Amino acid sequence: MKIIKRNLFQTAIIVLLLAGCKSKEEKVVATDESAKKPNIVFIYMDDLGYGDMSAYGATEISTPNMDALATGGVQFTNGYASSATCTPSRYAILTGRYPWRNKDAKILPGTAPLIIDTAQMTVPKMLQGEGYATGIVGKWHLGLGSGNVNWNERVSPGPNEVGFDYSYILAATQDRVPTVYIADGHVDGLDPNDPIEVSYEKNFEGEPTGLDNPELTTMKWHHGHNNSIVNGVPRIGFMKGGESAKWSDVDMADHFLAKAQQYVKEHKNKPFFLYYALQQPHVPRTPHPRFAGKSGMGPRGDVILEADWMIGEFMKTLENEGILENTLIVFSSDNGPVVNDGYYDDSEEKLGNHTPAGILRGGKYSLFDAGTRVPFITYWKGTIAPGKSDALVCQLDLLTSMAALVGSDKTGEDSENLLDAFMGKSKDGREELVLEATSRTAFRKGNWAMIPPYKGPAINKMVKIELGNAEEYQLYNLENDPSQKENLAKSNPEKLQELIADFEKIRGNSNDGIQDLELK
C-alpha cells in the first residue's frame, strides 16, 4: 500500500513540475517525447502578387494547387514579406531580423559576398540544433563567398555555412549571371577545362551581348538586361566559359522540383526542413513548352500555372511518402508583383483583366501595401484547421515561431512568437511592423499604414509602379481603405503623430541606410 501511495505521489510531483515549466506566454508544444517533430517546408515564390492566386480573388487565372493550401490551412489576409524586393525579404525570412539593419541587404549582383554573418542565428541553424536535416533548393540571392569568388573552386561561405546541410541553388536570379546551378558550393556539371569567369563591370573580349548583338537573342530586353546572352536570353552581368554547366531556362522548374522531391525521399525518416525557393514568376519568364500559352496571359501567367503544377507534384510526393500529415507547409512570396520587369514578353499586352496586386496599391519596389502584402498560408493536414485570418503576421516571425514549435529557445532579433496564429489557434498577430522598399521604410500598426515623405519619383516609369514617394506624410486606414486611396494625414494628425513616434522608436530618426532618398 505504501509503495502504491509513493508511486502516486511521485507521479503527481512529475505532473506538477511539467505544468510549472510552462509559462503563460509559452505556445503549445508537444511534451510527449515519443511525438515526432514535424517536418517543416517553406515554399517561397518570387514576385507573386496578392492578386495572383484564385484563392486571393484572381478571376482570370486558376491556381488549384496553391488554392488547396489556402483552403486547407490558414489563409492570412494580412501576411507580409519584410520588403518589397527579393534579397532583403530572403534575409529576413531566414534570420528573423529587419533587413534595413543590414546595409548590404539590398538587391545583389551575382558576385556579391554572403550577407548573412556565419555566426548569426538562422531558421536552418536553429533547426539543426533540434536534430533536423536542413536543405535549400532553388533561388538563393543572399551572396556567396567573401568577395572575388573563384567559381571553379568550392564557393564558400554560402548556404552550407549558415545552417543548410544540403544546398542546390542558383546564386542570384534567373536574369543574372552566373547562369549555373551550385551544389553544396560547387558549380554543378562544370568542366575544369572550360572555367567560368564572371564580372559585373566589363565584358570579356569577344563575348556577345544583348546590347551589341540583338540578332542572337530570342527574348528582347526592355531595360537593364542587355549583357551576356545565355540560351538566347540577355542577362544582367557578364560571363564567359562554363558551357557544360549552364542551365536550361525552360527546364529550371522541373529541375528544382526533382531536387526537392529527391530531398524529401532521402530524408523522410527523420525530421527535416526544406526551403523550396521557386523562381517564378520572376523574369525572364521561360515556361516549359508544356505550359507555354496555357494561361492566355503571356509568359508571366504561364509560369504561374507552371509553379502551381510544381507545387501540386511536390505535395503528392509528401503524400506518397507517407509524411504529409507530419509536415508543416509555409507558403508565401518574397515581395509583390511586377509585370514588365526588364523584357518584352507580352506580359503587359496580354494581362487583360488580371490584376496581380488585387485590390492593393503599388507592387514590387513600392512602399504601398502591394509591395509587401503577399499570399501567406500555413498548412498542416490534420493539425491546422482550415480558415482565414486577418492577423498581422510577417515572414520575420517564422524563426521564433518555428523555434517555439520544436521546443527551441532561439529567437530572431525582430521575430515574434506567433505560433498560435500560424497554427490557427489565435487571431492575434503582431501589433506593428516596419516595412521596407529599396532602403526606404514605412510603418504598419493595427489597421493603419504610415509612409514618411521621400524624395524621388512617384512612379517607376520603367515598370509602371507607384513607389510611395511623396513630399508629405501619408496615412491610410487599411480596414476602410485597403486600396490606400484616401490620405488621412492632415485630417487625423493625432493618429499620424502616434504612428511617427512608434515608428521612430523602432527605426530611429536618423534614417541610416536610406540611399539617395532623404526623409523630409
Which DSSP string corresponds to 175-204?
TBS--BEEETTEETT--TTS--EEESS-PP
The CA–CA distances, whole Å, from 41 to 137, 245, 298, 388, 401 equal 11, 28, 30, 20, 14
pLDDT digits (tens, 9 = 90+) for 44-101: 999 999 999 999 999 999 999 999 999 999 999 999 999 999 999 999 999 999 999 9
pLDDT digits (tens, 9 = 90+) for 419-437: 999 999 999 999 999 999 9
Structure confidence at residue 506 (pLDDT): 97
Residue 24 has pLDDT above 60, yes or no: no
Rounded mean pLDDT, 306-331: 98
| Nearest residue to 239 (alpha-carbon basis) of 170, 292, 163 | 170
What is the share, in percent, of the chain residues with pLDDT greater than 90? 90
What is the helix (H) or strand (E) element at residue 393, kind and residue range? strand 393-394
Rounded mean pLDDT, 151-178: 98
Q: Cα 358–338–350 angle (5° rounding)? A: 80
Enumerate residues 6+ apart whose C-beta is below 8 A from 332. Answer: 42, 43, 44, 45, 79, 81, 93, 374, 375, 376, 377, 395
**Secondary structure (3-state) at 435:** strand
| Nearest residue to 114 (alpha-carbon basis) of 157, 173, 174, 167 | 157
- For 6-10, 488-492, 501-505, which range has the lowest pLDDT when averaged over its residues? 6-10
Residue 166 has pLDDT above 80, yes or no: yes
Rounded mean pLDDT, 319-330: 98
Phi, psi of 86 (to 5 degrees): -70, -55
Cα–Cα distance, 484 to 34 (Å, whole number): 50
pLDDT digits (tens, 9 = 90+) for 366-420: 999 999 999 999 999 999 999 999 999 999 999 999 999 999 999 999 999 999 9
Do strands 39-45 and 272-277 pair parallel, antiparallel, or not at all (unpaired)?
A: parallel
What does pLDDT average to over the chain?
A: 92
- The answer to whether the beta carbons of residues 51 and 355 sit under 8 Å apart is yes
| Nearest residue to 343 (alpha-carbon basis) of 172, 180, 173, 197 | 173
Residue 10 has pLDDT above 70, yes or no: no
Structure confidence at residue 35 (pLDDT): 55
Residue 16 has pLDDT above 50, yes or no: no
pLDDT digits (tens, 9 = 90+) for 205-238: 999 999 999 999 999 999 999 999 999 999 999 9
pLDDT digits (tens, 9 = 90+) for 26-36: 434 433 433 58
Structure confidence at residue 156 (pLDDT): 98
Q: Which residues pair with 229 in a beta bridge?
A: 234
pTM of the model: 0.91
Residue matched to cell numbers 503571356: 298
Structure confidence at residue 22 (pLDDT): 43
The CA–CA distances, whole Å, from 238 to 75, 211, 252, 516 equal 42, 12, 21, 27
Name the grid cell of 58.
484572381
Structure confidence at residue 36 (pLDDT): 83
Residue 365 one-letter amino acid: Y
What is the share, in percent, of the chain residues with pLDDT greater than 70? 91
Structure confidence at residue 147 (pLDDT): 86
Residue 21 has pLDDT above 90, yes or no: no
